[in-house]
Amino acid sequence: MATLTDKVAIITGGAGGIGKVTAERFLKEGAKVVIVDLVQDALDTVKSELSSHGEIVAIQADVSNEADVEKYVKATVDQFGKIDIFFNNAGIEGKVAPIMEQEVQDFDKVIAVNVRGVFLGLKHVLKVLVNQGYGSVINTSSIAGLSGSIGVTPYITSKHAVVGLTKAAALEVASKNVRVNSIHPSPVNTRMMRSLETGMQTDQETLAKAIPLGRYAESSDIANLVLFLASDESSFITGVQYRVDGGMGAM
Ligand code: NAD
C-alpha cells in the first residue's frame, strides 16, 4: 500500500517549486491533494499537469488573508470530510538589501505572508485536526530560520518566527494526537533562488560552493522529508526542526 493512501493533504504555495513537486509526490503515494496559491492560472496549469496522478483540487487564496484561509479550509473539509496533512509552505523572499536600506512596507509584506500566513493556517487547520484527534502539520522555514545571513533581514526574521510558531503549536496540540514540525532547507533549485541570486548579484555555481554536498537541493529532496513527516512513519515526532541542507548545519 502507498504511504498516504486515502489521506487528504493541503499544500500552500502548491503552484510553486517545492509545493508542486510535493503535491506530485503525495498524489503518487495515494493522497488526495488540495493546492492553494495566489494565481488562478498557475494553479490551473499545475492541476492539469498533475491530475493524471490522482485527485487534485486547486484553490486560489492569499495565505495572509484570514477570510481566504477560512475559505480553503472549509472547501477542503466540505469536499473530503477531513484533513490529514497540512504543508504550510507558501512564502516569499523579500528584497535583498542591508537592514538600513530595507523599507518598512517590504518588511511588513514578508512578515504578512511568511509569519501571519503560517499563523493563520495553523489557527484554522488545527481546529479541524484537534477535533478529529489526528493530523500532521509541516511548516516550511529555512536554514534562514536557524541562523543569520547578510542582506535578507525580513526573510531571516520571518523564518525564525516559523520556529516559534512550530514549537508553540506542537506543545498546544500534542495531547490531541496532532503533530507540528518545521523543515529547514538550504538553497533549493526553484524560482525563489533565481530571484535571490539576482538580488545578491551571484549565481548558483558560486553559492553551491558553500554547501558541503556541493549542490542546491532539488524540490524532490524536500518532498522526501515532507513525505516522512506527513506519514505515520513519523508518528512519535513533533515540535522538531528538520534541516535538509546538504551538510550546512555541520559547519
Ligand atoms: P516558489 O516561489 O517557487 O513558491 C512559492 C509559492 O508560494 C509560489 O507559488 C507563490 O505564488 C506562493 N505564494 C506566495 N505568496 C503567497 C500568498 N500570499 N498566498 C498564497 N500563496 C503564495 O518558492 P519555493 O522555493 O517553492 O518556496 C516554498 C517555500 O520554501 C517558501 O516558504 C520558501 O521560503 C521556502 N524555502 C525555499 C528555499 C529555496 O531556496 N527555494 C529554501 C528554504 C526555504
Per-residue pLDDT of 37-91, as tens digits, reads 999 999 999 999 999 999 999 999 999 999 999 999 999 999 999 999 999 999 9
CA 175 to ligand 1 centroid distance, Å = 31
> Per this entry, what is the length of the chain?
251
Question: For the residues 28-36, what does the mean pLDDT come to?
Answer: 98
Question: For the residues 3-18, what does the mean pLDDT come to?
Answer: 98
Q: What is the pLDDT of residue 194?
A: 97
Q: Is the CB of 62 under 6 A from ligand 1?
A: yes
Question: For the residues 115-124, what does the mean pLDDT come to?
Answer: 99
Strand partners, 20: none
Mutate to test the pocket of ligand 1, among 37, 59, 242 (most ligand atoms within 8 A of CB): 37
CA 1 to ligand 1 centroid distance, Å = 31
Count of structural domains, the chain:
1
pLDDT classification of 1: cutoffs 50, 70, 90: low
**Is residue 76 in a domain?**
yes
Relative to the CA of 64, which ligand 1 atom is closest?
A: 18
**Is residue 212 in a domain?**
no
Q: In what order do the strands lie in the sheet with 56-60?
A: 56-60, 32-37, 8-12, 85-88, 135-140, 178-185, 241-244
Q: Percent of the chain at pLDDT above 70?
A: 100
Residues with catalytic function:
155
Helices 17-28 and 219-230: crossing angle in degrees, nearest 10, is: 50
Relative to the CA of 39, which ligand 1 atom is closest?
A: 11
**Is residue 192 in a domain?**
no
Q: What is the CATH number of the domain that holds 84?
A: 3.40.50.720
Mean pLDDT of the chain: 98
Grid cell listed for 3: 504511504
Q: Is the CB of 118 under 6 A from ligand 1?
A: no
- Residues 234, 78: Cα–Cα separation, whole Å: 27
187-246 pLDDT, tens digit each: 999 999 999 999 999 999 999 999 999 999 999 999 999 999 999 999 999 999 999 999
**Is residue 2 in a domain?**
no
Mutate to test the pocket of ligand 1, among 70, 106, 192, 197 (most ligand atoms within 8 A of CB): 192
Rg of the chain in Å (alpha carbons): 17
Grid cell listed for 99: 537592514
Q: Is the CB of 145 under 6 A from ligand 1?
A: no
Q: What is the pLDDT of residue 8?
A: 98
Q: Is the CB of 90 under 6 A from ligand 1?
A: yes
Write out the DSSP string of 87-140. EE--------B-GGG--HHHHHHHHIIIIIHHHHHHHHHHHHHHHHT-EEEEEE
Short-list 77, 200, 94, 201, CA closest to 142 = 94
pTM of this structure:
0.98
Relative to the CA of 155, which ligand 1 atom is closest?
A: 34
Using CA positions, which residue lies closest to atom 17 of ligand 1? 62
Grid cell listed for 226: 515532507
Q: What is the pLDDT of residue 162?
A: 99
Which domain does 108 fall in, by range? Answer: 8-187+218-244
Relative to the CA of 42, which ligand 1 atom is closest?
A: 9
188 SS3 class = strand
Question: For the residues 83-100, what does the mean pLDDT come to?
Answer: 98
Question: For the residues 112-136, what does the mean pLDDT come to?
Answer: 99
ipTM for the assembly:
0.99
**Is residue 50 in a domain?**
yes
**Is residue 210 in a domain?**
no
**Is residue 26 in a domain?**
yes
Q: What is the pLDDT of residue 2?
A: 85
**Is residue 202 in a domain?**
no
Asked if 76 and 31 touch (Cβ cutoff 8 Å), the reply is no
